[in-house]
């Protein structure tokens, strides 16, 4: 039961009874009572003084008294400067508690009938996944879960950028100085090996540019005419023309990368309903460009390149095909969007992509609109901030990124070290300890990243993320394990769980029921703004409330059986709600720690 909706209906009844039907139709402002005032729900009385012909304070007094006289669920009221603060009764909150307990679908919103596609990850096959990719993957996964719990059918998809000049750079460096090395011969994970050659290309390219500059050529001209870059551009054209040797090298090196990606995704607990490959979708984008040319939406310039002029819309001209006929990111994004909306009958498409691509998606939507696709209005770019480290930003070309695999291993070791220091492993086998370290490390990593509003740039600190006492994943995981320990001991003692009329909720328990009752509203709010951070911080808030309750109130040692049974139900529902909330974040809550 939503207390604000309940009070809203009762206040409308009071307004009609006191001041007539017209008063009941006025817009009503209902909100949770601020903490510094006594009450649960506050109704703003200022708009009603015109119909009541009295001051807002007097109007509040009259409405409050009417509610007190006619609504058993209202215990008391007070008026502060035109704000009517209403305190709900013990019976009301006990009724809410029973509803939460009995509602098997509490924590899930009704079906919307909508199908939403969420694209995330979208890696390039020229380097391994890094910390920035981790934020993308974890955010994409949790947004998908969030939208599912909001009642939508969600399709999680990945678009692998497996073609283009950046891929050819790794291929060229391997061809020039790889000497036939493979993941098997080197003992390196495939995506790491290919990433090494991407960095190697950059080193070779810099050497050539510097050599040309030393010969008196301008830096700009040297960057264009460097032999290694010209050969790489030629390789891209050969790939698009289907040159057998180039295509074979491309297949081999991409195969190494896919195997590496799959291992990283598995370690992160990430999966997709479908994976698209740019190599298979860019041609549909080229066809769409041809359609745009025929319609006069695009223009072909003298050098053969194709552009869309967006200057009248306050943007610039956008390249869609290069003069040599090769495509750009925008080309394939146009074709892929059309393909997905038609194939899956989408109601909405969410792209989880960093904020450096804001302009790209602004252009994508506009170009699709000009091509006549009204569903372009249902494209949403979930623009997230970058992940930074204490030492600054990461740079792939210079090999200064924080590798995803290395970070996952580092988090595991940190979780192990912290757990051993705290002595939380009593009675566990080595296998159980290993699984606990894995669960804690992923919980710490995921929570630390997801608890930050997606739009904000974040600073990542592995040591801080594993803290068992702060706003962290392990703190919530430990809270859940503590509740499960209580319930196991209750079962061993033969204690029953139940709610009867004899048991009364104390003020602390009412506060917890209030907080639990807010979950559907928080879930809807999070879904509306695509922010699982709302759910992460709710889980922390609920965990804090439980731990304070556990400190202040006796549960297992309570001698009154009715109270003990009710309190066991209460803590068991807290555990269930924490599980639902953390499931959205992809975080496992252990049974014991």
The three-state DSSP-derived secondary structure of 108-154 is CCCCCCCEEEEECCCCECCCCCEHHHHHHHHHHHHHHHHHHHCCCEE
Closest CA to 380 of 424, 346, 430: 346
pLDDT at 56: 94
- What do you get for the CA distance between the two ends of the chain, in Å? 35
Give the model confidence (pLDDT) of 127-180 as tens digits: 899 888 999 999 999 999 999 999 999 999 999 989 888 899 999 999 999 999
The C-alpha atoms of residue 217 and residue 485 are separated, in whole angstroms, by 73
The C-alpha atoms of residue 542 and residue 561 are separated, in whole angstroms, by 25
Backbone angles phi, psi at 439, to 5 degrees: -65, -45
Instruction: Give yes or no for residue 536 having a pLDDT over 90.
Output: yes
Instruction: Give yes or no for residue 393 having a pLDDT over 60.
Output: no
The C-alpha atoms of residue 509 and residue 552 are separated, in whole angstroms, by 11
The token duo for 363 is 């252009």
Sheet of strand 83-88: strand arrangement: 30-32, 41-44, 83-88, 74-80
Of 11-25, 94-108, 396-410, 506-520, the one with minimum mean pLDDT is 396-410
Instruction: Give yes or no for residue 71 having a pLDDT over 90.
Output: yes
pLDDT at 426: 78
Percent of the chain predicted with pLDDT > 90: 80
The C-alpha atoms of residue 129 and residue 332 are separated, in whole angstroms, by 22
Instruction: Give yes or no for residue 575 having a pLDDT over 70.
Output: yes
Give the model confidence (pLDDT) of 429-464 as tens digits: 999 999 999 999 999 999 999 999 999 988 877 777
Give the model confidence (pLDDT) of 133-146 as tens digits: 999 999 999 999 99
pLDDT at 47: 86
The C-alpha atoms of residue 44 and residue 55 are separated, in whole angstroms, by 12
Residues in Cβ contact with 296 at an 8 Å cutoff, skipping those fewer than 6 apart: none
Provide DSSP, 172-225: HHHHHH-TT--HHHHT--HHHHHHHHHHHHHHHHHHHHHHHHHTT--HHHHHHH
Instruction: Give yes or no for residue 482 having a pLDDT over 90.
Output: yes
Confidence of residue 370 (pLDDT cuts 50, 70, 90): very high
CB-neighbour burial class of residue 49 (10 A; exposed 0-12, middle 13-18, buried 19+) = middle
pLDDT at 284: 87
More confident: 467 or 178? 178
pLDDT at 392: 52
pLDDT at 399: 46
Residues in Cβ contact with 488 at an 8 Å cutoff, skipping those fewer than 6 apart: none
Closest CA to 541 of 522, 557, 527, 555: 522
Instruction: Give yes or no for residue 395 having a pLDDT over 70.
Output: no
Instruction: Give yes or no for residue 396 having a pLDDT over 60.
Output: no
pLDDT at 48: 86
3-state secondary structure of 207: helix
Instruction: Give yes or no for residue 309 having a pLDDT over 70.
Output: yes
Delineate the domains of the chain, giving CATH numbers in brackets.
Answer: 3-88 (3.30.1360.70), 120-388 (3.40.50.620), 404-584 (1.10.730.10)
Of 268-272, 289-293, 334-338, 392-396, the one with minimum mean pLDDT is 392-396
Give the model confidence (pLDDT) of 37-70 as tens digits: 999 999 999 988 888 999 999 999 999 999 999 9
The C-alpha atoms of residue 378 and residue 96 are separated, in whole angstroms, by 37
Give the model confidence (pLDDT) of 245-292 as tens digits: 999 999 999 999 999 999 999 999 999 999 999 888 888 889 999 999
pLDDT at 131: 87
CA 249 to chain centre: 36
pLDDT at 170: 96
How, if at all, do strands 299-300 and 458-459 pair? unpaired
The token duo for 228 is 């290694």
More confident: 499 or 593? 499
């Amino acid at each position: 039961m939503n207390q604000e909706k309940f009070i809203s209906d009762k206040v409308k009844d009071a307004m009609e009874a006191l001041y007539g039907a017209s008063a009941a139709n006025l817009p009503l402002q209902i909100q949770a009572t601020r903490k510094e005032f006594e009450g649960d729900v506050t109704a703003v009385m200022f708009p009603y003084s015109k119909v009541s012909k009295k001051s807002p304070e007097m109007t509040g007094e009259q409405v409050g008294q009417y509610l007190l006289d006619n609504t058993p669920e209202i215990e008391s009221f007070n008026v502060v400067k035109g704000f009517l603060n209403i305190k709900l009764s013990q019976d009301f909150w006990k009724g809410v508690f029973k509803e939460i307990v009995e509602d098997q679908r509490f924590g899930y919103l009704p079906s919307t009938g909508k199908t939403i596609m969420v694209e995330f990850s979208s890696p390039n096959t020229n380097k391994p996944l890094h910390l920035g990719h981790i934020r993308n993957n974890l955010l994409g996964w949790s947004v998908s879960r969030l939208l599912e719990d909001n009642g939508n059918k969600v399709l999680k998809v990945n678009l692998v950028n497996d073609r283009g000049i950046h891929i050819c750079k790794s291929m060229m460096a391997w061809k020039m100085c790889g000497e036939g090395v493979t993941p098997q011969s080197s003992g390196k994970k495939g995506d790491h090996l290919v990433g090494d050659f991407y960095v190697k290309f950059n080193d070779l390219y810099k050497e050539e540019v510097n050599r040309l500059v030393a010969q008196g050529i301008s830096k700009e001209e040297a960057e264009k005419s460097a032999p290694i870059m010209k050969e790489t551009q030629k390789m891209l054209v050969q790939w698009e023309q289907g040159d057998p040797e180039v295509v074979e090298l491309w297949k081999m090196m991409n195969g190494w990368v896919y195997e590496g990606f799959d291992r990283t995704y598995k370690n992160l607990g990430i999966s997709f309903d479908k994976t698209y490959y740019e190599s298979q979708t860019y041609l549909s984008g080229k066809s769409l460009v041809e359609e745009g040319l025929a319609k006069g939406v695009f223009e072909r310039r003298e050098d053969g390149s194709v552009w869309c002029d967006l200057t009248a819309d306050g943007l610039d001209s956008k390249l869609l095909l290069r003069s040599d006929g090769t495509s750009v990111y925008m080309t394939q994004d146009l074709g892929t969007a059309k393909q997905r909306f038609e194939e899956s009958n989408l109601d909405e498409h969410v792209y989880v992509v960093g904020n450096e691509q804001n302009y790209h998606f602004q252009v994508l939507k506009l170009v699709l609109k000009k091509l006549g696709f009204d569903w372009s209005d249902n494209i949403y770019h979930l623009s997230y901030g970058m992940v930074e480290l204490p030492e600054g930003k990461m740079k792939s070309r210079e090999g200064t990124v924080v590798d995803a695999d290395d970070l996952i291993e580092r988090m595991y070791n940190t979780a192990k070290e912290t757990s051993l220091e705290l002595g939380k492993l009593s009675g566990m086998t080595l296998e159980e300890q290993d699984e606990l370290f894995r669960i804690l490390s992923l919980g710490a990593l995921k929570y630390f990243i997801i608890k930050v509003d997606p739009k904000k740039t974040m600073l990542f600190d592995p040591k801080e993320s594993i803290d068992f006492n702060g706003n962290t994943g392990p703190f919530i995981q430990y809270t859940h394990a503590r509740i499960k320990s209580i319930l196991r001991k209750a079962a061993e003692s033969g204690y029953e769980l139940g709610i009867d009329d004899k048991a009364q909720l104390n003020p602390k328990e009412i506060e917890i029921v209030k907080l639990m009752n807010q979950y559907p509203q928080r879930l809807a709010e999070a879904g509306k703004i695509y922010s699982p951070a709302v759910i992460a911080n709710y889980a922390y808030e609920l965990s804090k409330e439980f731990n304070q309750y556990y400190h202040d109130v006796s549960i297992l040692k309570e001698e009154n059986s009715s109270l003990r049974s009710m309190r066991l139900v209460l803590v068991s529902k807290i555990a269930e709600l924490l599980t639902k909330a953390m499931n959205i974040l992809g975080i496992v809550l252990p049974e014991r720690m």
